[in-house]
Amino acid sequence: MRPVTRAVIAVIAVVSLVTAVVIAASGGLRPAAAPQTAAVTTPSSSPSSVPSSTPVSAASAAPVASPAPSAWDVALAQAQSLPLEVAAGQVIMADVSSPDPAAAARLVRSRHLAGVILMGAAITDADGVTALTGALAAADPEREWPVIIATDEEGGLVQRLSPVIGHVSAFMAAGANGDAAQIEAYYAGLGAQMAQLGFTMDFAPVADVTIGTKDPTIRTRSAGSHPDAVAGVVASAWQGLASGRVTPVIKHFPGHGSVTTDSHTGLPVQSASLAKLAKRDMVPFATAIEDGVPAVMMGHIRVTAWGKAPATVNPRAYAYLRDTLGFDGLIVTDAMNMAAITDRYSGGKAAVLALAAGADLVLMPAHLDASIAGIVAAVEDGTLSRERLDDAVAHVIVASAAVSSAATGAVQPQRPQEFVEGSIVVAAKSCGALIGDEVRIVGGTTAQRSTLAGELKARGVTVGDAGTSILLVGGDRGHGTADVVVATGGPWGLADSHATAYVATWGTGAAQMRALAAVLAGDVAPRGTWPVGLSLPYTACT
């Protein structure tokens, strides 16, 4: 983390404490000036231990102001004041898959939800999204902290907002780029775009370290396969999102990139020792926590060193995150409607187990009303303590209030093209211009070929049925034979391809095709490097 960023975080902590004074005066929690990034301690109320040399009578003594409560103390007091049914909703984030603003607002208001995550079907256009987020923000006017409005905007395979903001490069593009300033600027622009649309939280970036194609679900969602490099990229990305005024949530602790089962379909088992995980999978998480990341997502992963239960319902997983790594921010579960959970726990049981284990926010329970009812019943019968529930609610309140009053306009809502250009990786027999005056584009989709053709024509290149052959391949293992083989998804299929130039773009949108054209024509020198191991006949052009 750069010194300037540390200074900014220090300022944030001071502003949060000053805000707490306003809270105490007004009786309610006001939004803090920036994402919560560190624990806020309660000032000591004990008298000074230094004796006074001059006695002062009570009548003549100057009045001493009572110490201001911390933001945490205020949030905890608010949590403790809530009726049980309301507190139970405040630890739940439901999914919304409809663009209907009124329906979404009713859902939040009627269940007293902490917030919602908007899925792809809820996203229409900019006006539709802002109408939806506006209704959600105003859904529960009686509460003194904001509704959390979240989505998954990782880039690549997992992005909900492409109909509105265009295609975001897969996160592995950041690993290929490697320039901390460009990475932070790209994700700051993304955060600002999301904030402009009304979002306050992004379930990104992915902090997992991938093992490649044996990893069934993370792959290019990860920044790469080298723990220290991934840690650096994750740091730049989450800090960028935060400066763009959305709360970043790094995921999926303790690491989903080295297991061989997809938790959407089953329970991954991690048999590596904790010592090994600490040197590999957990490195990006530990680094982010040390730097002050505000939120972490717990993954549905069974770590054998912690026993048989998935981490999301395992007290030992939360204890490791809190006590060993020293994390004091918001802990969110991965979506509780995934098979790793639903195959093992029914109704509202999973939500209760997750909260009892140490979760603060239960994401997308498979049965919303059963989960809320289960939490209420568990507190009433002593299965879940009200103290643990209040602690979780307080974490939610602090996190929800963190970004809503941040200064606007500091970051422009646009993603710099130089990041995309810098992420293009080329391994070629001869670096420089990779094409001649005429090219033939094959593979990909009609739209992808058309976009690339237009960009090349704008650079004076003839596109037809002759000249340098350019093959666009998708997926993670796409491969083929051409003069230039371009992987638009994962890069692993390039090892099975035959070409004089191998290229990775990490996406298929207009920005990625524009950057590809610039590199192919020699107008932009490639400087990306492979963030994962590949066996190719040529080294990367940098």
- What pLDDT, in 10s, does the model give residues 267-306? 999 999 999 999 999 999 999 999 999 999 999 999 999 9
Q: Count CA atoms closer than 13 A to 213's CA, side-chain side.
A: 13
- Kindly tell me if the per-residue pLDDT of 38 is higher than 60: no
Range 300-313 average pLDDT: 98
Q: If we measure between CA atoms, which residue out of 19, 11, 14, 73 comes closest to residue 42? A: 73
Every domain of the chain and the residues it spans? 71-401, 424-520
> Is the pLDDT at 45 greater than 90, yes or no?
no
pLDDT number for residue 28: 35
Question: Which option is the CATH number for 71-401: 3.20.20.300, 3.40.50.10800, 3.40.50.970, 2.30.30.830?
Answer: 3.20.20.300
CB 118 within 8 A of CB 160: yes
Cα 124 to Cα 342: distance, rounded to the nearest angstrom: 30
User: Does residue 40 register a pLDDT over 80?
Assistant: no
User: Which pLDDT score, from 0 to 100, does residue 199 have?
Assistant: 97
Predicted pLDDT of residue 211: 98
Please give the average per-residue pLDDT across 338-363, as a whole number: 96
Residue 402, pLDDT > 70, answer yes
Please say whether the dihedral angle defined by the alpha carbons of residues 263, 265, 267 and 270, taken in this order, is positive or negative: negative
Say if CB 529 and CB 540 are below 8 A apart. Answer: yes
Give the C-alpha separation, 215 to 255, whole Å.
11
Predicted confidence at residue 349, as pLDDT, reads: 96
Confidence of residue 3 (pLDDT cuts 50, 70, 90): very low
Q: What is the pLDDT of residue 409?
A: 54
Model pLDDT for residues 449-475, shown as the tens digit of each residue: 999 999 999 999 999 999 999 999 999
Q: Which residues contact 331 (CB under 8 A, 6 or more apart)?
A: 295, 296, 297, 298, 318, 321, 358, 359, 360, 361, 395
The pLDDT value given to residue 1:
40
* Residue 353 DSSP SS3: helix
Q: Given this model, what pLDDT does residue 208 score?
A: 98
Q: How confident is the model at residue 29 (pLDDT cuts 50, 70, 90)?
A: very low
Residue 346 is predicted with a pLDDT of 85
Average pLDDT over residues 432-461: 97
The confidence band for 221, taking pLDDT boundaries of 50, 70 and 90, is very high
What integer pLDDT is reported at residue 212 of this predicted model? 97
Residue 14 pLDDT grade (very low, low, confident, very high; cuts 50, 70, 90): very low
pLDDT value for 108? 98
Beta carbons within 8 Å of 397's beta carbon, 6+ residues apart? 29, 75, 78, 79, 90, 145
8, pLDDT greater than 60: no
Please, which residues have CB within 8 angstroms of residue 442's CB and are 6 or more apart in sequence? 449, 469, 470, 471, 472, 482
Q: Say whether pLDDT at 500 is over 80.
A: yes
Give CA–CA dist 151/200, Å, rounded: 9
- Our separate counts of H helices and E strands in the chain read 19, 19
Res 348: pLDDT: 87
Q: What is the pLDDT of residue 411?
A: 81
What's the predicted TM-score (pTM) here?
0.87
Question: Is the pLDDT at 235 greater than 60, yes or no?
Answer: yes
Q: What would the DSSP string read from start to end of 71-105?
A: HHHHHHHHHHHS-HHHHHHTTEEEEE----HHHHH
Question: Could you report the per-residue pLDDT of 185-209, keeping only the tens digit for each?
Answer: 999 999 999 999 999 999 999 999 9
